[in-house]
Amino acid sequence: MFQILQAPYLPSQANLLDRMFRLRKRVFVDQLQWSVSAINGRERDCYDDCQPVYILWTDDLTGELLGSTRLMPTTGPTLMYDVFRDTFPHGAALEAPGIWEATRTCVDAEALARCQPDLSACEAFGRLCLAIVECGLQHGIHTVVSNYEPHMMRIYRKAGLIVDELGRADGYGRRPVCCGAFAITTDVAGTVRAQLGVSETLITLPAMDKMAA
């Protein structure tokens, strides 16, 4: 099950959000060894205090958290502008109500192996991408931008998602960091759905109130 969570609904899902922060710590700190802070086994940053929108994927039977991502409007603070500004041309116009940033997208490979062993981590990441597209269609988002390492382009392509690389820069870690954008349209959703072999709509819960841009 995929859920969209945003303020003021977050307090009622405190346990699920706590599991998300713990997952982010395991993925981004322990596995990827990113230079991000972790406190008490949780990875959390200042952007989590800016009323982001979270997409959380839990297993229907066990309730285990399988993956998550964070969406933020580019009209407010974003990692893209505050941290990764050198990854895209300075003349690029990437601030608009319909352009949102996706960050901290991750999958729990161990939980996935327990709950859905027939689904690879790559396919699971593709489903998170599809959930982002569906969320965008529900809420008037026409473009999603994200920073990623170069090898992720292959995973995006396997999911049927066409990501336009806007630029890249060194100096952030062991590998270059790229900035890319992809469109949110019904055609894109159909292409990704067909590529992943997913027939059903992933986000089946009623849409939340209109997202603040």
Give the pLDDT band (50/70/90) at residue 35: confident
| Residue spans per domain, the chain | 2-196
Q: Which CATH architecture has domain 2-196?
A: 3-Layer(aba) Sandwich (3.40)
Distances (CA, A) of 146 to 62, 132, 187: 31, 12, 20
Show the tokens assigned to 192. Answer: 């990704």
Q: Alpha-carbon distance 202 to 198, whole Å?
A: 9
Give the pLDDT band (50/70/90) at residue 95: very high
So what's the pLDDT on residue 50?
A: 93
Show the tokens assigned to 144. Answer: 């999603």
So what's the pLDDT on residue 6?
A: 86
In this prediction the pTM is 0.92
